[in-house]
Structure 1
Amino acid sequence: MELKVFRDTLSAMGSLWETKAELPIETELLIPDYLPQVFKIVKCFVYPVTLQKQVAPGRLTVEGYLRCVVYYQAEEDQSLCQVEQKIPFTRAMDLPEGQHQGYSVTVNGEVEYINCRAVNQRRVDVRGAYALSAQVCAQSDQEIITALADCGAEQKLVPINGLRTVANLDKLLTAEEEVTLPGQVQAVIDISGVGQVEEIKVITGKAVVKGRIQVALTYRSQPGWQLETVEQAVPFNQIIDLDSAPEDATAFAEVEMIGCTLTAAAGQEGASTLTVTAMLHLRMVRQVECYVVSDAFSTQYSADVTYKSVTAEQLAETLNRTVEATASGTLPDENAQIIGCLVTLHPLEWVAAEGGGVGLGGRAIAHVLCMNSLGEIDCYDKSFDFTLPDVWPGTADQYRAECWPVVTAAQPVAAGGEVTVRVSVRVRGLVFRRVKETVVDSITCETALENPEPDVALRICYASAGENIFEIAKHYHVPPAAMMKLNHLEDLQLTAPARLLVPMTV
């Protein structure tokens, strides 16, 4: 008689790799003729924009650009001005070799250092380095044993819940909307935006994502440092082609604004057009469940069993949280007048939670722009931390997060030489948990068992609380079902000490 082994495949997660690369920042920004000349550099920011992520065997290639933004004070009228430039990059990073069916790649980073100086009144030199970081999670189909038959095979089945990726897409989109400004725009200082996905509809072969981007336009309507802000909602409607989209799939989408331009309409006072460029992140996963043989033996043969560990990924949380944080400190000039505030966020990190478990938190810097008593514009940086209220059991190596944090509000208040910035940070995304299970890798039955005591019909086993009937039956090479029936048991797990009858034959 031959042992029958039934096999299937399980979508298993490979190792979670992190790879880093340094991007040099070397550029010169020329001040256009329509902007005033440079008197003083106020602050320089670098924002990363990832356009493409391509994974090949042993290599990850990331393409995009660094958006370099310089704020400066004009020479003649103390005006706050802004100029920016894109620095394209293509960086290849090494990955461990291996055959995988899919990858999930998250790219972020932070500025290592930045030096910005005015070479002359029309040219700004920027030198620095940006630390690019990529987290890569590989997915592959791993063979598992789902059932055994014949040769007196007995098996212990365990359910494994996992995820199969249906869609993992990042797509650029553009949207336009007219905006009416209350006055003439002399200079745009900052354009920020917060995306809001309002509807995800999955139909045959397509996903329709609708939402809006709330754009905040900060500008000067006259010379000086007084700023004005106007907000405008820019709706979008994006259709994405999909190879397959089962009805029971879980869909998540987030939109991240990466650029915006303001175009004045000819001959129309106050009428302009906002053109938004955004990255739409679409993730679709489908829950799969299968029963796997975690242990096995034979009542007729001496079975040779080997084991292996499989890793599956589960959706732990769909995040949509807004947290409040505060940054405060002493102003170097107690008479300084606050102009505005910008906030930069560092990548989210896993942090240990009080009482056990892990949570997500991050570091950020509030950049407070002020006019000091000498008539010069300064930037005061105030660091702060924020932590999401969620706590997940386990350790950080069991989790993976794909999240997109964004600042929704930053309100600076100065009083008595102190400045306090109240910041709201919204975090949307997915948190995945990695679970490991030891299962049977192979089993062979070749040598028949001999009954050393053919005249004995029963044995007595004294078992302790917490022992499992399957393990006891495996020790005596008898069917667990027979032991359960003989001892009038309904549960494999013993909750109290017991004297068990063990049959010698079935």
Structure 2
Amino acid sequence: MGLELIKENVVVEQVVGENRFQALISHDIVVGDLKLDVEKILSVSAYNNIIRHEIIQGKAVIEGMLNCSVLYTGDTDKLIERIDAQIPYTQYVDIKGAEARMTCEVSDYIESADASISNSRKISLNVLVDLNIKVIERKSIDLIADISGLPDIQVLRKDIKINNTVGQGVSQEIVREELELPQNKLDIDEILKADVNVAVENVAVTSGRVTAEGYVSLNVMYYTGESVHPLEKVAYELPFVQVTEIQGADEGMLADVKFYIDDTSFKVTQDADGKNRIISAEVLLKCVAKARMEDIRDVIADAYSMMRATQLSKSTYRYRELIAKEESQVEIREVINLSEPATNIYDVNTRPVIIDYTVSDGKVISNGVLQVSAIYMTSGGDTVVTGDMQEIPFNMAVEAPDATSDMFADIEILGNKFTYELKTSRQLELKSVVNVSVAVFADRDIELVTSIEELDVPQPERASITVYMVQKGDDLWGIAKRYRTSREDILNANGIQEEDVKPGLKLLIPKKFVQ
């Protein structure tokens, strides 16, 4: 019977290259004729939406849209003015080895958003967008799963864990609610701003779909039309369940989801008594979902015949292995010193940003800042309403079993809940709980047998028994292959276990006779 190879096909995703790129998007906002002159900027909010991405030779092309809002003070007749801007952008990011036939993954977050006054009718906006791009090539490989036809063949098997993308999809869903004001809140004269954030609480994969559950946190600040208490703030949580269709997805798989806010609409409507106490809220969510499967394969990493000359062909492949995926949270407490004495806090907004991380043995340590903006009424002087923007540094350690310093991590913020209290006129006490997801990956290189053939070459004779002293770097497989015997025969002849094979040990290696 001749040599026969049994092969299996496997698809391996290889990360060809990656680049963390910081895009500084600058834009001038011209104040419209109906808006007040700009005296002081109170706060800047921005969220990013990745519209499209593609790979060209040596580069990734990222198209996105920044949605920005700036609150500022004008004159005392109207305490706060708001101006909005939508800023499209295109970024070309160099990625060595990238080709048009490849795909890419893009993760993004806004690291900072700042505004300055150019003149009373122009605001200069600078937004720093952090883009992390990975270029991926899918390779189809025929692996040797088994060898038959040689009775004395010895094989070295290894398990490899391949993390592959089964499919991905995009879905849109409108989260729509009629929101009533609490009884202790004054009627709405005009909505000044609405901050929207998405928090994901659960992700499940079922046949053909990925389902994400969570809530949209909505913080609304509005004018009341009252001179004594002109501004109010109200907060809501809008639950949602969003389904993204993905062909090939099934139970037991892993999933990654990324949410973007495509559009928002907030209108004031009247209640049964004819009062402006209802907010008709619509938030258009876009979900980019990916289903992944961990494929464990038993493959042949090496082989030899004890009696016949054979020639192996090997290839080295790199694949990405998911080592651990954990969720955790960090609690941030801080007393913020206000620049002016405050009588009433109108609005506080927080945004956590992860700046960098390190992977050490068994854990991932991340460093970040909690960006805080506060708008409040002052107790004296000419300024009636003012605002402060500060950053609170934080770090957190997430336990990740089997993580080592040569690995890397993907860290995603899942949600952020916070409370605040004005302790004194100049001190604002803040408590924030930030939830994160941490995935630890390792790039593995493995040399696999791709073909083997029998050669018509006589094997040299050797002594019936050889004495060999184990050297540093030796393993039992390498020794057995060198002397064309089996691992089992060496262990049996010496009455030892494989873990006993250490440098300095003398081994009796019998000659193998195959019928």
Structures share a fold, TM > 0.5? yes
Shift of 1:466: 9.2
Which residue does 1:158 correspond to in 2? 158
| Equivalent-residue separation in structure 2 for 1:351 and 1:475 (angstroms) | 42
1:284 lines up with 2:284 in the alignment: no
CA RMSD after TM alignment: 3.6
Q: Deviations along 1:55-101, whole A, 9 cap, x unmatched? A: 45544232221122111113033613322121122333343234866
The answer (yes or no) to whether the contact 1:172–1:278 under 8 Å persists in 2 is: yes
Amino acid at match of 2:145: T
Amino acid at match of 1:409: F
The aligned residue for residue 280 of structure 2 is 273
Pair 1:459-2:466 in alignment: yes
Q: Which residue in the other structure is 2:133 paired with? A: 135
The secondary structure found in structure 1 opposite 2:500 is coil
Work out the CA distance in 2 between the residues paired with 1:248 and 1:202. Answer: 8
1:438 paired to 2:446: yes
Ranges in structure 2 where 5+ consecutive residues have no aligned partner: none
| Structure 1: runs of 5 or more not aligned | none
| 2:10 matched residue in structure 1 | 9
Given candidates 480, 484, 487, the residue that maps to 2:487 is: 480
Q: Which residue of 2 aligns with 1:117?
A: 117
Give the structure 1 partner of residue 330 of structure 2: 323
Tell me how far 1:157 sits from its aligned partner.
0.7
CA separation of 1:217/1:370 partners in 2, compared to 1, >3 Å: closer, same or farther? closer
Change in Cα spacing, 1:335 to 1:106, as seen in structure 2 (3 Å) is: closer
Does residue 403 of structure 1 match 2:402? Answer: no
Distance 1:380 1:76 in 2: 19
In the TM superposition, residue 397 of structure 1 has moved relative to its aligned partner by 5.2
Residue 213 of structure 1 is aligned with which of 213, 216, 223? 216
Query: Is 1:40–1:75's contact at 8 Å kept on the other side of the alignment?
Result: no
Is this contact kept in 2: 1:3–1:149, CA < 8 A? yes
Question: 1:378 aligns to what?
Answer: 386
Q: Could you say if the C-alpha distance between residues 403 and 136 of structure 1 is closer, same or farther in structure 2, counting changes exceeding 3 Å?
A: same
Q: CA 1:23–1:464 in structure 2 vs 1: closer, same or farther (change >3 Å)?
A: closer
What's the offset of the Cα at 1:131? 4.3
Q: Distance in 2 between matches of 1:235 and 1:149?
A: 58
Q: Take 1:462 and 1:397, find their aligned partners in 2: how far apart are those partners?
A: 33
Aligned-partner SS, 2:252: coil
Question: Is the Cα–Cα contact under 8 Å of residues 44 and 116 in structure 1 kept in the other structure?
Answer: no
CA distance in 1, matches of 2:262, 2:492: 66
Q: Which amino acid aligns with 2:49?
A: V
Whole-Å separation in 2 of the counterparts to 1:14 and 1:138: 5
Residues 80-479 of structure 1: matches in 2 within 5 Å?
A: 80-95=80-95, 96-98=97-99, 102-111=103-112, 114-117=114-117, 119-120=119-120, 123-128=121-126, 130-141=128-139, 143=141, 144-150=143-149, 152-181=152-181, 182=185, 183-197=187-201, 200=204, 202-203=206-207, 205-222=208-225, 227-253=231-257, 255=259, 257=261, 259-265=263-269, 268-269=274-275, 270-301=277-308, 303=310, 308-328=315-335, 330-333=337-340, 338-351=345-358, 357-372=363-378, 373-376=380-383, 377-392=385-400, 393-395=402-404, 398-401=407-410, 403-411=412-420, 413-415=422-424, 417-427=426-436, 429=437, 431-441=439-449, 446=455, 448-453=457-462, 456-463=463-470, 468-479=475-486
User: In structure 1, what residue type is equivalent to 2:249?
Assistant: A
Per the alignment, in what secondary structure is the counterpart of residue 482 of structure 1? Answer: helix
Alignment CA distance shift 1:46-1:242 (3 Å): closer
Structure 1 pair 159/241, CA: closer, same or farther in 2 (3 Å)?
A: same
Query: What secondary structure, in the 3-state scheme, does the structure 1 residue paired with 2:62 have?
Result: strand
Secondary structure of the residue aligned to 2:225 is: coil
1:63 aligns with 2:63: yes
Cα deviation digits, residues 238-289 of structure 1 (max 9, x gap): 3433222233323454645565321123685323310112232423211111
Residue 375 of structure 1: how far off its partner (Å): 3.9
Partner Cα distance (2:101, 2:308) in 1? 37
1:325 deviation in Å? 1.4
Shift of the 322–59 alpha-carbon distance from structure 1 to 2, 3 Å rule, reads same
Structure 1 residues 147 and 447, CA gap change in structure 2 (3 angstroms) = same
For 1:388, the aligned partner's letter is M
Query: What residue identity is the alignment partner of 2:87?
Result: I
AA aligned opposite 1:299: M
Q: What displacement does 1:441 show?
A: 4.7
> Which SS does the other structure have where 1:262 is aligned?
strand
Q: 1:322, 1:315 → 2: CA distance?
A: 21
Figure out how many residues of one structure are paired with residues of the other and give that number.
Answer: 496
Distance 2:66 2:382 in 1: 32
Is contact 1:109-1:130 (8 Å) kept?
yes
Distance of aligned partners of 1:361 and 1:145 in 2 relative to their CA distance in 1, 3 Å threshold: farther
Question: Matches of 1:231 and 1:115 in 2, distance apart?
Answer: 26
**CA offsets per residue over residues 191-237 of structure 1, 9 Å max, x none?**
2334344564623x344545442323232323678643323343434
Give percent identity, aligned residues only.
14
TM-superposed deviation, 1:138: 1.3
- Looking at structure 2, the residues matched to 364 and 295 of structure 1 have their Cα atoms a distance apart, in angstroms, of 52
Classify 1:432/1:358 alpha carbon distance in 2 versus 1 (closer, same or farther; 3 Å): closer
The 3-state SS of whatever aligns with 2:41 is strand
Query: Aligned to 1:157, what secondary structure does the other structure show?
Result: strand
TM-score, length-scaled by structure 1: 0.83
- Normalised to the residue count of structure 2, the TM-score between the two structures is 0.82
Matched, 1:49 2:55: no
